[in-house]
Amino acid sequence: MNMVRTAMLLAVMTALFMGVGYLIGGTGGMAVAFVIAAGMNLFSYWNADKMVLKMHRAVEVDERTAPEFYQLVAGLAQNAGLPMPKVYVIDNAQPNAFATGRNPENAAVAATTGLLNSLSNEEVAAVMAHELAHVEHRDTLTMTITATLAGAISMLGNFAFFFGGNRNNNGLGIIGVLAAMIVAPLAAMMVQMAISRTREYSADRRGAEICGQPMWLASALQKIAMGAKRVVNEEAERNPATAHMFIINPLNGQNMDNLFSTHPATENRIAALQAMAAEFSGRAVAQAAPPSPVADRAGPRSSGQGSSGPWGRGGADRRRGPWS
């Protein structure tokens, strides 16, 4: 089913790419756009994950550079029955995270320093479990390829703005250029409409199952949503087509209608997790309070080093992060 969805999405994005090419250069522009789109589809299947990680300046970490964070992800991957993904850290103050990769055998998960520094170990575990759920459901291929193609469509729209006067006579004149300029900024909206927001609910539920505590994720979502509103993610703002990949929309100060949102309302996701916790009747999770960010950050998966946290740094040094 995921392969069918991916194929349909590629077809729609390729058609949109060709449509913008026609608006710029008529049938000749459409033919050129088709060749470019075909090449990009093939290229993005193998390399889109690397491109997205590079866009957000993600740095790969391991057991030496970020031991506790790496081990936390390893434990969650084992719980989920997944291969160990590559682990990345993004030097960004906004708390957020995403997963990428064409399949579970070639997956990567990334978390920002803002997330690692502001959430408790339990909340970090819940967030990474959510991202592993996307890997398990194979959402990452669709999400990553869409981000790459939408970015290419936006660049084509910019081309229309600067070089529209050079198109051949088969084009639609200034009307075609203006249409291309309008279509390009809407590429991100195309992404939002193409990818069902129900995948977030599904990943929330499976992530809660992987970490075993729905309320850990509910607490994390609330904090990440608040942080995303306060802190601007400059890389995400420059690459808005990747916004749908994050656990919470990283774009700041949006007022778009929910119909075109990349994510369900955070309140609805939290309510669904609360309902899931209530299903665990007789378990402490149904009554447990959300974990405190100032609580013992070592958590149940740590090596017992107190407040060092999952990123492998302790005390005042922890905000330097595993990349320093």
Write down the pLDDT at residue 40.
Answer: 75
Tell me the binding residues: 130, 134, 200
Write down the pLDDT at residue 13.
Answer: 73
Catalytic residue among 68, 123, 131, 235: 131
Write down the pLDDT at residue 193.
Answer: 62
Write down the pLDDT at residue 268.
Answer: 93
Q: Is 237 a catalytic residue?
A: no
Tell me the binding residues for Zn(2+): 130, 134, 200
pLDDT in 10s for each residue of the chain, 324 residues = 666 766 777 777 777 777 777 777 778 777 887 887 778 777 777 888 898 999 999 999 999 999 999 999 999 999 999 999 999 999 999 999 999 998 999 999 999 999 999 999 999 999 999 999 999 998 888 777 777 777 677 676 666 666 554 444 445 556 666 666 676 556 656 655 656 667 899 999 999 999 999 999 999 999 999 999 999 999 998 888 788 889 999 987 544 444 456 688 899 999 999 999 998 754 544 344 444 443 344 333 333 333 334 444 433 343 334 333
Write down the pLDDT at residue 158.
Answer: 66
* Domain residue spans of the chain: 2-314
* SS3 assignment for the chain: CHHHHHHHHHHHHHHHHHHHHHHHHHHHHHHHHHHHHHHHHHHHHHHHHHHHHHHCCEEEECCCCCHHHHHHHHHHHHHHCCCCCEEEEECCCCCCEEEEECCHHHEEEEEEHHHHHHCCHHHHHHHHHHHHHHHHCCHHHHHHHHHHHHHHHHHHHHHHHHHHHHCCCCCCHHHHHHHHHHHHHHHHHHHHHHCCCHHHHHHHHHHHHHHCCHHHHHHHHHHHHHHHHHCCCHHHHHCHHHHHHECCCCCCCCCCCHHHCCCCCHHHHHHHHHHHHHHCCCCHHHCCCCCCCCCCCCCCCCCCCHHHCCCCCCHHHHHHCCCC
